[in-house]
Amino acid sequence: MLLNDYLIFIVILASFGNAFVILSLLINQKTRTTFGVFIINIAFIDFLIGAFLKSSFVVEDYFEGQQISGMHCYLMTSFITASPMIKIMIMIVLSLFTLFGSIKKISLDKLLTPENTFVTLLLIWILCGGMSLINHRVLGKHSSSCAVDEELLIISVFAIFLLMGLLIAIHVIIIVIEQVRKVNDTIEMMRTDGVYNNLSVELQREEEEAQMNDKSSKRLIFIISLLFVLFWMPFYSIRAHYEFNDKKHTFDLVIFQLIAYVFGYFNSTVTPIAILVVYPESRILLNKVDWEKFKFWKKF
């Protein structure tokens, strides 16, 4: 009963944390940029590496005529037992998306403008809902053991890749539209007002602010990546090890599972909350809300 109470408390904390992070993404520009890069980066890494791991093992077992193992449900366990070539490819993918999240921040800022934040969140929720629907309809009868038929799991993996491709395509279209709109607005302003000097000063100020935010985002992403490696991966592997090798619900197993819940499933919520409290640029979030820039409501 005590363990269930703790888990319920963690779920409630995660719910409030998710709501607070989403509000900060919608309201504050600096927080929206910083945490938006973090959330998208972690989502890409976790999703793509997970899909790559499962598809690699499934295809390998499929051609060898072996039964799909339940161990494939755990990313860390799959990574430990993978071949050196798969490990190298996973690390390359991880490095590329880490660079994508830190260096290509300007492109991500296009996605996280007030006008596009709601669309971005909506598309992510649709993607997650599609994945859940596939797991429930196609793989639901195997959800207890996570051991599935080869054909069904391959269908699920390909469907996830299609959904991800659709999401990326829509985001690219949004970026292109925003860039074209910005260029047109700039040209129109230069023609009508002729304020070249003011425009240069404004562009220089925005460039300096973007450089400062870029340094802060890189430092924040480094800290989060370090926490991710130090806490999430080891406890995830411990949980997988105990569940597959020790079927007794001992006190140690309960403690390790509780730690895994805290640092694993809710890491993406607890970590932003902790950084939001201690990060200097985010302490005055609620005191500097500019509702005029909150343009989402103006569309209705």
Task: Say what the pLDDT of residue 272 is.
Answer: 44
- Retrieve residue 270's tokens: 């607890």
Helix residue ranges per DSSP H, 28-149 = 29-64, 75-81, 84-103, 105-111, 114-137
In a domain, 127, yes or no: yes
In a domain, 9, yes or no: no
In a domain, 173, yes or no: yes
Task: Say what the pLDDT of residue 8 is.
Answer: 45
Taking only the tens place, the pLDDT of each residue in 235-283 is 444 444 444 444 444 444 444 444 444 444 444 444 444 444 444 444 4
Position 41 confidence tier, pLDDT thresholds 50, 70, 90: very low
Taking only the tens place, the pLDDT of each residue in 85-132 is 655 665 555 555 445 544 444 444 454 444 444 454 455 445 544 444
Cβ proximity of 75 and 236 under 8 Å: yes
Task: Say what the pLDDT of residue 182 is.
Answer: 72
Taking only the tens place, the pLDDT of each residue in 176-235 is 666 667 766 766 666 665 555 555 556 666 666 655 555 555 555 455 545 544 444 444
Q: Which domain holds residue 142?
A: 21-299
Question: CA dihedral defined by 199, 117, 269, 28, rounded to 10 degrees?
Answer: 40
Position 84 confidence tier, pLDDT thresholds 50, 70, 90: low
In a domain, 177, yes or no: yes
Range in 13-17, 161-165, 182-186, 198-202 the model is least confident about: 13-17
In a domain, 14, yes or no: no
Say how many C-beta atoms besides its own lie within 10 A of residue 239's C-beta: 22
Residues contacting 170, CB < 8 A, separation 6+: 123
Cα 216 to Cα 30: distance, rounded to the nearest angstrom = 10
Say how many C-beta atoms besides its own lie within 10 A of residue 95's C-beta: 10
- Retrieve residue 38's tokens: 């973090």
Task: Say what the pLDDT of residue 208 is.
Answer: 62
Quote the number of domains for the chain: 1
Asked whether the predicted pLDDT for residue 174 surpasses 50, the reply is: yes
In a domain, 3, yes or no: no
Asked whether the predicted pLDDT for residue 161 surpasses 50, the reply is: yes
Cβ proximity of 267 and 232 under 8 Å: yes
- The pTM assigned to this predicted structure is 0.25
Taking Cα atoms as reference points, which of 82, 63, 86 lies closest to residue 72?
82
Task: Say what the pLDDT of residue 179 is.
Answer: 66
In a domain, 4, yes or no: no
Residue with tokens 């990574």: 79
Cα 200 to Cα 59: distance, rounded to the nearest angstrom = 56
| Average of per-residue pLDDT across 38-43 | 46
In a domain, 41, yes or no: yes
